[in-house]
């Protein structure tokens, strides 16, 4: 007998060890969400430590009379059945009318989430460093109460025509004194100028107290009304020249008319005009008419305006000349809004058509940089805390990349008598003298032409002379009754 045969026979004579008892776990039985319904799928919700805080339930309705609205009306009963509070129950439709998704979370979880949201708003979040994405025009603005990142746009890329954008987006900051409004704007501006494709223009109507670090940065800067007026005129000239360039298929290098500014580059940067304590400027009708025109017409030309005010009412912040226009821009979704107001549903949100007002909560008092944000990257108003960079001057010196660019400037002097157009022999020669006295990109309109040539030549002769200048490549049509110097 072989050894293997012996072992097999011995094993057969020994009794088999008793089998271990099988413990059957009783199934979890969920109460019917509504009468006649049944839970067909239950997904437990667990936190990062494995603690269960709720369920995601897929519920089959009893008949077609039950729908998501029926479940919403019965939230108190559902919350009572599952031992939670009303805020812990949410109802969501599915792709089929026989199934409804119901999410149930426990009250302790809601309390913990509320505490975490409050901590995120009250904590200081240091500026994370350069974060503007030139391809999308998006920068990280701060930390949202739900733990995500709050984003904001300088411009929107066109999803179809990648050679252009959908134009720039203006921003409006509001907030009480010492509410962190200026510090938040400074940090966002720091992010905006780190990619080398944004050319800033700064107006500090507090005499340099708020944005004085920009005095020596080599960009247009003003801290009084006269300087602000001059910058407004320069921005207007820049916008007119940019629109003329966009409509010149040969001169713009694209071979076609451009409906909006191309994605910004160091050679073709976005122009970002920042105005702090804007109501001091809004009192000046001349300046505000200019800024209203800039905001209305030149976002498509890559000129953006950031407006900061303590008041949250458009007519106070933008003045009688620009208030109604600002409201229309907000209703059109062209203005990203950052409200640091407390205890009020501000005008910022009154003009947010279709905004989910239930998502807007009251800002905590005494928390600088806390704000409610409306922008194209968020479907509803977002409660968030802006990033903060305390050493803003050092950060600008270390990170700012200002494009080698210069705004068109306003002419200070009239042409001298020796080269006055009126002394020329013919109207064509007079136009050549007039054009030669202007900077490249300057706009000559009918009024200017009439003042220079009107004492000797009739309007028809003047227009013929300007057409000759167009044919000679000295100017290009800029619009009805105006020409741009090439």
- What are 123-133's pLDDT values in tens digits? 889 999 999 99
Q: Cβ distance 203 to 228 under 8 Å?
A: yes
Confidence of residue 416 (pLDDT cuts 50, 70, 90): very low
pLDDT over threshold 80, residue 10: no
Residues 245-263 pLDDT 10s: 999 998 888 999 999 999 9
pLDDT over threshold 80, residue 365: no
Among 2-6, 142-146, 264-268, 346-350, which range has the highest average pLDDT? 264-268
Confidence of residue 486 (pLDDT cuts 50, 70, 90): confident
Residue 486 CA to residue 474 CA, distance in Å, equals: 6
Residue with the larger pLDDT of the pair 243 and 314: 243
pLDDT over threshold 70, residue 307: yes
Please, what is the end-to-end C-alpha distance for the chain in angstroms?
A: 113
pLDDT over threshold 50, residue 406: yes
pTM: 0.68
Q: Cβ distance 435 to 447 under 8 Å?
A: no
Confidence of residue 412 (pLDDT cuts 50, 70, 90): low
- What pLDDT is recorded for position 398? 92
Residues 162-204 pLDDT 10s: 899 988 889 988 877 666 788 888 999 999 999 999 999 999 9
């Amino acid at each position: 007998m072989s050894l293997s045969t012996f072992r097999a026979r011995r094993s057969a004579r020994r009794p088999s060890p008793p089998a271990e008892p099988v413990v059957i776990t009783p199934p979890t039985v969920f109460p019917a969400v509504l009468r006649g319904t049944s839970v067909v799928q239950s997904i437990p919700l667990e936190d990062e430590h494995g603690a269960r805080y709720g369920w995601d339930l897929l519920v089959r309705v009893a008949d077609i009379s039950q729908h998501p609205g029926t479940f919403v009306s019965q939230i108190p009963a559902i919350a009572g059945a599952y031992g939670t509070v009303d805020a812990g129950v949410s109802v969501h439709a599915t792709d089929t009318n026989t199934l409804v998704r119901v999410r149930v979370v426990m009250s302790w979880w809601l309390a913990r989430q509320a505490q975490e949201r409050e901590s995120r708003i009250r904590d200081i979040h240091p500026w994370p460093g350069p974060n503007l994405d030139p391809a999308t025009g998006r920068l990280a603005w701060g930390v949202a109460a739900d733990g995500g990142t709050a984003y904001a746009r300088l411009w929107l890329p066109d999803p179809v025509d990648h050679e252009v954008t959908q134009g720039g987006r203006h921003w409006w900051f509001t907030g009480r004194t010492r509410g962190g409004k200026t510090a938040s704007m400074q940090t966002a501006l720091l992010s905006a100028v780190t990619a080398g494709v944004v050319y800033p223009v700064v107006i500090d109507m507090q005499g340099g107290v708020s944005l004085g670090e920009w005095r020596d940065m080599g960009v247009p800067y003003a801290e009084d009304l006269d300087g602000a007026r001059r910058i407004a005129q320069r921005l207007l000239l820049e916008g007119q020249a940019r629109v003329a360039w966009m409509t010149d298929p040969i001169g713009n290098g694209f071979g076609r008319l451009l409906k909006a500014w191309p994605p910004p580059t160091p050679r073709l940067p976005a122009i970002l005009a920042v105005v702090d304590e804007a109501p001091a400027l809004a009192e000046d009708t001349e300046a505000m008419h200019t800024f209203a025109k800039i905001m209305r017409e030149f976002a498509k030309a890559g000129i953006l305006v950031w407006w900061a005010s303590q008041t949250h009412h458009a007519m106070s912040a933008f003045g009688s000349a620009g208030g109604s226009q600002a409201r229309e821009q907000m209703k059109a979704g062209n203005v990203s809004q950052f409200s640091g107001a407390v205890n009020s549903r501000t005008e910022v949100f009154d003009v947010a058509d279709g905004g989910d007002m239930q998502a807007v909560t009251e800002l905590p008092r005494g928390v600088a940089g806390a704000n409610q944000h409306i922008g194209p990257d968020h479907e509803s108003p977002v409660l968030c805390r802006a990033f903060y960079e305390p050493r803003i001057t050092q950060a600008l010196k270390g990170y700012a990349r200002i494009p080698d660019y210069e705004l068109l400037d306003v002419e200070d002097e009239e042409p001298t008598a020796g080269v006055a157009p009126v002394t020329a022999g013919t109207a064509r020669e007079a136009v050549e003298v007039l054009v030669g006295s202007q900077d490249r990109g300057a706009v000559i309109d009918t009024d200017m032409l009439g003042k220079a040539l009107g004492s000797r030549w009739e309007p028809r002769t003047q227009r013929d002379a300007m057409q000759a200048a167009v044919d000679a490549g000295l100017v290009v049509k800029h619009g009805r009754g105006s020409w741009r110097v090439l």
